[in-house]
Every structure is written in C-alpha cells, then in structure tokens.
Amino acid sequence: MNKVKLGLIFGTRPETIKMFPIISEIKKYPELIDYKIILTGQHREMLDQMLNTFEIIPDYDLNIMKENQDLSQILSKSISSIEKILMKEMPDMVLVQGDTTTTFAGAMAAFFQHIKIAHIEAGLRTNNKYYPFPEEINRHLTSVLADIHFAPTDKSCLNLLAEGISRENIFISGNTVIDALFSVAKKRYLFKNEILKDKKLFNHKVILVTMHRRENWGEPLRNICQALIRILKENPSAFIIFPMHKNPKIREEVLRILNGNKRIILLDTLDYEDMVNLMSKSYIILTDSGGIQEEAPSLAKPILVLRNETERPEALAQGTVDLVGTNCGHITKKVNELMNDKNKYLEMIKSNNPYGDGKASSRIIKKILNYFKLLNTVPDEFKA
C-alpha cells in the first residue's frame, strides 16, 4: 500500500470542531493519505457556521435535516445515504467522532461494507443508557463496531477494557477539542458579535451559560432559568451571557423566562472563535456541554455542570468541574460560593487539563499511518 484512503464522517457542530484538527493534520501527508469528507448535516445552521470558520469544503453533503424529524428518521436516512457513498468511494478506513447519531450511523454503514472503523473520543461512559440520551448508547454501539479506539484519557481506556476490548486496539490520544481550542484562543481577541464588543461588559463577573441536552428540556430547563434569576438578585455586580441553542424547545422556554432582564444577555449561537474567547473572559461557566467540560480547564475557568451524571469524570476528580444538577437551590448555592469565596474559586482553576495537550490529532494520524504500515514508528500515548 502506497496510500491510505480515509473517509471522515461527521454532521454536527461539536463534531466539526473536533474533526477540524484531524483534517489539518491529514493535509500534512498528501503523499500518504487521500481523504473524503462526508457530512450528514445533522445540525444544519450550526454546522455551516463551523464549516465557514474552519474553511472546510465537504466532498459529500447529505443535508438530511428536516423539520421535526425524530431520531429514527435521522439514523435511517444517515445509514442508507452514507452506505451509498462508501460503496462508491470504498475508503480503507472511516473516522467517526464522539457520540452523535451521525457517529453511530457512519460506523454502521462502514461495518456493512467491511470497512475499518476508527472511533475518535472513544470510551466515555455514564453507564446509564438514557443519560445522556441518545449519546450514551451511540457510544456503546460504536465501540462494538470500531477497529481502533482513540480514547482521550486513561479512564476512557479502562472503560473500554472493562467491556472486553483488547488493549492493542486502544490508543490514548488526548482529545482533539484541545487542539482546536489552542488554535483559536487569543489574548487580544476582537469579537465579531456586536454585543460582545462592549469591553465594559467584562469589567463585571460574567457567568456564561450554555444548554442543549435533551434530558434538560422542560422542567430542568425551567429550574435552571429560575436559578439564574436568583443568582443575579444575590450578586448585584454579576452579568449572565446565555448563547441560546437553535432548538426551539430551548429557545422558547429561555426567552419566556429570562427575556427582559437587563443583566441577562441572550444571544444567538456564537461562532466557535467568539465562543472560545468568551469562555476565556468569563468568570464562571454553567453548562451541560461535554465539549466545554473538556475545554474550560485549559482556560483556567471553573465549570458547574448542569447535569446529574457525566461521562467525563477526569476533571471532576481533579476538582476543576463540579456536578450541580438542575435543582434551583443547589445551583444558586454553588455559584454564590464561587462568586464570594476566593479560595474556593482558586481551588477550581488548576491549569492542568486531563483531556489533552494540543497534540491529539498528530498522535491519531500517525497511529493510523502506522496501522496501515505507512509509518514505522508508533507515537507516544497522551499522559495527563
């Protein structure tokens, strides 16, 4: 074999962020790697935003997203459409990332065609099949199908070993989201969003809030919004910035409860560069996002996770992340502690990031080249 042909399958905003460093790394080996980018379009508007930011041009765009379609429709459309492309292109290996429906669909379509599968960000687990939903099961099923498991951490590796996956098929790489973060975080960044250009805003203690997970729709979201109102009442100098997810089930509820509060700034979804640099200027981050749990420790920001469980326990063990759930009183109490107790705040902003060092993509591509005997050396695994 003189060259390996790879198929990169993704379709959501988070996947695009984490695949961008992989694409950049692949481009360093034009004599060894051919590749095709296959998009499902599972997140349409937010996906396009990321493609423009990173200047990614797909070879195939399935554009599967239709209004009000359910998970089974997304899955069935994705599998059948991806399989047709794989039958035409026949890559030596497909790369899928994380835990979306696109991830599982891409792995299943490749399996049907006897194509090797590499799973990036493998081994994250809560071991509660409905939390997060449907991501936990997407991860488990993708692990059953994968040939190479790129685990971001030692803990992820142990999870895979406990499920009977051979150590020789697991490679601890770190997480590519840290690679992406380092590429866009800037000390003297000029925001594109007009509201964020107001430098006086960051003279206050800014609390950044993001939410998108299905299990937080409805009552949990309402509880969190009430907590935000209480936090502002008890912290007169604080401001909240809340970039709202595109999903109408989230936006309608957030707008109904929070719109009109002069110290809550409700924004549309930010592009990645604005979001990373907003994180770097925030005082505390409240989120149910897995990616932000991984990114924020590199920015020395405390994370309060608006969930009852997390598949990313490493930062929790380190103390840079705290699970606060969705109870109004509990969230308020935890935020108040960080706002008013400098020692507790400093305890949470340790600089070591257990999820990566900015070199995950390099390790992954070198490992794949070694797998296909196009590179003699095996890269060292990531150690936190």
Q: What is the DSSP string of 207-228?
A: EEEE---GGGTTHHHHHHHHHH
Catalytic residue (one of 25, 89, 121, 314): 121
Q: Is 121 tagged catalytic?
A: yes
CA angle 293, 102, 85 (to 5 degrees): 145
Catalytic residue (one of 15, 25, 135, 288): 135
Q: SS3 for 284?
A: strand
From residue 284, give the alpha-carbon distance in Å to each of 181, 301, 335, 347.
Answer: 18, 6, 8, 13
Q: Is 149 tagged catalytic?
A: no
Element (H or E) spanning 376, and its range? Answer: none
Q: Is 294 tagged catalytic?
A: no
Q: Of 299, 66, 99, nearest to 214 (Cα)?
A: 99
Catalytic residue (one of 15, 25, 83, 99): 99
Q: Is 212 tagged catalytic?
A: yes
CB contact set of 196 (below 8 Å; sequence gap of 6+): 241, 267, 274, 278
Measure the CA–CA gap between 93 and 97, rounded to whole angstroms: 13
Q: Of 63, 57, 53, nearest to 27 (Cα)?
A: 57
Catalytic residue (one of 34, 48, 61, 214): 214
Catalytic residue (one of 44, 139, 212, 213): 212
By the 10 Å C-beta count (0-12 exposed, 13-18 middle, 19+ buried), 263 is classed as middle
Tokens representing residue 45 in the block: 């508007």
List active site positions.
99, 121, 135, 212, 214, 245
